[in-house]
Amino acid sequence: MKFQKYINQHTNQITLVTAILIGVGLLGKVLNSDMIYTVSFIAASIISAVPIILRAISALRFKTISIELLVSIAVIGAFAIGEYNESAIVTFLFLFGTFLEDKTLAKTRHSIKDLTEMAPTTALVVDDDGETEETDVDFVDVDDVVLVKAGGQIPVDGEIVDGSGHINEASITGESKLVTKNVGDQVFSGTMLDNGTVKVRATKVGDDTTFGKIVELVEDAQDTKSPAEKFIDKFATYYTPAVLIIALIVGLVTKDFRLAITVLVLGCPGALVIGAPVSNVAGIGNGAKNGVLIKGGEVMNTFANVDTLVFDKTGTLTEGKTAVTQLKDYSKNQLGLTIAAAIEKQSDHPLAQAVVKFSADHKIGFDKVEVTDADTIKGRGVKATADGQSVLIGNLRLMNDEEIALTDQQKSDLEAIQSQGSSTVIVAFDGRVQTILGISDVIRQGVKESLATLKSLGIKKTVMLTGDNLQTADAVADQIGIDEVHAELLPEQKVEYVKKYQEQGHKVAFVGDGINDSPSLVTADIGIAMGSGTDVAVETSDVVLMSSGFNELIHAYGLSKKTVMNTKENIFIAIATVAALLIGLILGFIYMASGMFVHEASILVVIFNAMRLINYRPKVAKLDPDQLSVREYDLSLKQ
């Protein structure tokens, strides 16, 4: 055991010594010294064969006929018949090929290795006296307060209780832009504080943090094999012994021992065995680097065949927050908006807060407006006094009750806003309507263009399943180009629709973010969770979009298709190489040493082919400036 461990630790040095001995042997050939030539190649054969034979023996202990066994038998056979140069060159090429494979495979795993190395290891814990003590991150408990200084790494998931700063969340979202964080904001383990100083109260620690779960999911994903990998593993179980039997038959029939051992070398399935796993690892690594967690090769393969995307609306197609998205102002100097914000500031209703936020974002000065006698009228709105004048803020029913008539233009504007699925807030004083606001859940930026891109990649149908009312759902669908809409659904009804599409022969991916989406995420062929969603949604999904962006969805879908195609390319290269070698052998062009060279070269080819996935980036369509789903800061305050 110690001897084998020593040999394994010094295999690279053995490969180097073998190369030197082969060089000396070739020099002896040039100098016409048979002794130098023979002794050098004998020594090279023996030294280089040791690690290969030891690996073959280890595999046999587990009842596995490995590639090393085929090479060992071939090398021993060549040595026995005096073909020392063949045995030395074959073993050297095998060892050198393994060395190059390890180096290049390490590059395919580079993204995943970087991810695990980004995990925080220490934390500055603040005690009750305000003193800090550096401790191992594993010893930090929930509710502990940790201090993070500029340039430091946040060691826990938690809430900022003191200070502020700009945080780089690339390790979580894949986006390297800085995000401003203040007291009360959530922060994540593994992210970097670019500037400022903050104190964070821990809500999740260790493996329970978002970053910890990312690392765990990526590591598990590497071990989950695609259908191609499972088939090749099963195929190799029978293929390798078959090569051994074929070589034996060739030797018995032809009486050509040299031909038989050459068949052993040429039949090695190295590129075939490694082709699928290396593509899988490279694809998963690329996803992890770009904020997309794909949970294994089988998920990758299934996702590549998806033709129907089913979306939840709130929090998925939309941002899940109400905001002012339309404004019609008939007053002077935005007086209607100013007074509305001053009155709504006293309410915690979501529509009221949307008006206040919109006004604050657009620097509407409403703090000096004096509000008195604000009365809430159930199902209608608010009646208040602002700066001495009576003000009505509410829906059309309130205006009708108070006999406030809308002009034809105002009626047209109101209908246009409502037709887009927005809730409306009407502001009236001086006996007439001054302002109409449209408030709705903000559609995610770029959704329309993203859906078009997904269709260009192979998606045939897009569907929205929502518990919201049909008018709102239709309005959102019209703006972003959804093919089919089903509204006012309970979670179990969403599952029924997913099953219906599956029964029609579609491969279905469901995209959602909430606990109520979990049944559909599990039922669909592929469940895709927004990283900003609930833990339940993230845990039950197959793919996680860490920054909840649709660009990530495009990346995940395109990457899955590229990875599956890359796997097929590698399998073709491997099979074509073996076929070409056997044809070359029959025609007399290929011999044992040259066969091993081609064999090792084919392994490097499939690895380099897989490495192309590391830098894969899909083409993303430019935003449509005319898209109706404008964001808050795109709104004009002009009439």
Residues 192-251: pLDDT tens digits? 888 889 999 999 888 777 677 666 655 565 555 557 667 766 776 777 788 888 888 988
pLDDT in tens, 249-278: 988 888 888 888 888 777 776 677 777 777
What single letter denotes the amino acid at residue 512?
A: G
Residue 461 clears pLDDT 90, i.e. is over it: yes
pLDDT in tens, 538-568: 666 788 887 778 888 999 999 999 999 999 9
Q: Which two tokens stand for residue 252?
A: 């018995």
Is residue 279 very low, low, confident or very high in pLDDT (cuts 50, 70, 90)?
confident
CATH 1.10.10.10 fits 278-314+449-558, yes or no: no
Q: How far apart are the C-alpha atoms of 624 and 187, rounded to whole Å?
A: 32
Q: How far apart are the C-alpha atoms of 64 and 461, rounded to whole Å?
A: 47
Is the separation of the CB atoms in 207 and 216 below 8 Å?
A: yes
- Let me know the angle formed at the C-alpha of 544 by 485 and 148, rounded to the nearest 5 degrees: 130
pLDDT > 70 fraction of the chain, expressed in percent and rounded:
87
pLDDT at 233: 66
Neighbours of 418 (CB within 10 A): 17
Is the separation of the CB atoms in 282 and 614 below 8 Å?
A: yes
What single letter denotes the amino acid at residue 407?
A: T
Of residues 561, 543, 562, the one with CA closest to residue 552: 543
Domains of the chain by residue range: 278-314+449-558, 319-443
- DSSP letter at 267? T
Tell me phi and psi for residue 347, to 5 degrees.
Answer: -110, 150
What single letter denotes the amino acid at residue 108?
A: T
Q: How far apart are the C-alpha atoms of 632 and 639, rounded to whole Å?
A: 16
Is residue 514 very low, low, confident or very high in pLDDT (cuts 50, 70, 90)?
low
pLDDT at 146: 92
- DSSP letter at 514? S
pLDDT at 61: 84
Residue 515 clears pLDDT 70, i.e. is over it: no
Q: How far apart are the C-alpha atoms of 319 and 307, rounded to whole Å?
A: 25
pLDDT in tens, 369-428: 888 888 888 778 889 998 888 999 988 889 999 999 999 999 999 988 888 778 889 999
Burial class (CB in 10 A: 0-12, 13-18, 19+), 295: buried
Residues with catalytic function: 312
Residue 610 clears pLDDT 50, i.e. is over it: yes
Strands ordered across the beta sheet of 423-429? 318-329, 432-443, 423-429, 389-394, 381-386, 371-377
CATH of 319-443 among 3.30.43.10, 2.40.440.10, 3.30.830.10, 3.40.1110.10: 3.40.1110.10
- DSSP letter at 391? E
pLDDT at 637: 41
pTM: 0.68
What single letter denotes the amino acid at residue 504?
A: Q
What average pLDDT is seen over the chain? 82
Neighbours of 99 (CB within 10 A): 14
